[in-house]
A and B are shown apart, each in its own frame.
Chain A
């Protein structure tokens, strides 16, 4: 650890620890709301009959849809995510990455686990910046991984 680092041993210990699962029920309504907010008119996100003609059980979620926008049926007993506070109060979203195995469909029951994948610091225009890479893995009712999301959080 470099001198003056804001990364504590507590933060380092949090890396790689997988959370208990959150169980999410994927409904049509939040998918439609999400597609409307983006301004994406593709009927596969709001027209169930259209989606069925393409071989899906119901409407599918657009790329970028975060399943955790849906109502959780079961939450972990401890909060997911890193259990430490950044020394900085301002936050920015550094980036998102999505890896899809199959489309998320309305009616899916997904299990989400999350972990802190990495943490590092860099000097920035407005002072030191702390980068946290978090990863969420979503598995469907058959135990198949449907989506892996990675998020870079920046605090400064």
Chain B
């Protein structure tokens, strides 16, 4: 894994190292099998169109899991994710380049925990935030 970040290294306004994903229809099918979410709007174009969708769309929970990957890469082996969540506001389609990003909103200590809070989101190739969320994570301290 990448170098471990410490709580002291992080300031409000800092960026979370972005995570880029380029989903394909094949990956959506792979996700369907791994998650058990076989809803047809994610792999059957005719079905998706008949549901007034632009075509097959990326599973919300897959986007949510990528935001989890963004966070676990950021906190490293010695950090931990306390809580995170996101809303699926906009649809994303395979073939687009999707980027998970984040910005630190505050840092503080809570008992023994060195906590950092962040705004996180996934944006599409046009830079539109389709999947905004928030996270509360804990980093190791140098002290």
Seen from chain A, the residues whose Cβ lies within 8 Å of a Cβ on chain B are: 30, 33-34, 36-40, 42-44, 54, 62-66, 68-69, 90-100, 103, 126, 150, 152
**By the criterion of a CB under 8 Å from any partner CB, how many residues of chain B are at the interface?**
36
Bound-complex Cα distance A150 to B85 (A): 9
B115 at the interface (CB under 8 A from A): no
Contact indicator A96/B60 (Cβ below 8 Å): yes
Say yes or no: A37-B77 contact (C-beta < 8 A), given A91-B39, A95-B60. no
Of A33, A37, A100, most buried by chain B (CB within 10 Å of CB) is: A37
Can you name 17 A-B pairs with beta carbons within 8 Å?
Answer: A33-B34, A36-B30, A38-B31, A40-B69, A42-B72, A44-B77, A62-B68, A63-B71, A64-B69, A69-B35, A90-B52, A93-B88, A95-B87, A96-B61, A98-B84, A98-B85, A126-B52
User: How far, in angstroms, from A34 to B69 measured CA to CA in the complex?
Assistant: 12
Taking a contact as CB atoms closer than 8 A, the residue among B27, B80, B88 that contacts A39 in the complex is: B27
Apart from A92-B60, A93-B60, what are 4 other A-B pairs with CB-CB below 8 Å? A95-B85, A96-B85, A98-B85, A100-B80
Would you call B36 an interface residue if the criterion is a C-beta within 8 Å of the partner chain's C-beta atoms?
Answer: yes
Map CB proximity to A onto B121-138 as digits: 1 under 8 Å, 0 otherwise: 000000000000100000
With a CB–CB cut-off of 8 A, which chain B residues contact A54? 77
**B-side contacts of A126, CB under 8 Å:** 52
Q: Which residues of B contact A96 (CB under 8 A)?
A: 60-61, 64, 85-86
* Nearest chain B CB to A38 CB, angstrom units: 5
On whether the beta carbons of A39 and B21 are closer than 8 Å, the reply is: yes
A30 touches B68 (CB 8 A): no
Look across to chain B and name the residue whose beta carbon is closest to the beta carbon of A152. Answer: B87
Are B77 and A66 closer than 8 Å at their CB atoms?
no
* Contact indicator A90/B51 (Cβ below 8 Å): yes
Query: With contacts A63-B65, A64-B61, A93-B59 known, is A34 near B87, CB below 8 A?
Result: no
Whether a CB of chain A sits under 8 angstroms from the CB of B10 is no
Give, as a whole number of angstroms, the nearest-CB distance from A42 to chain B. Answer: 7
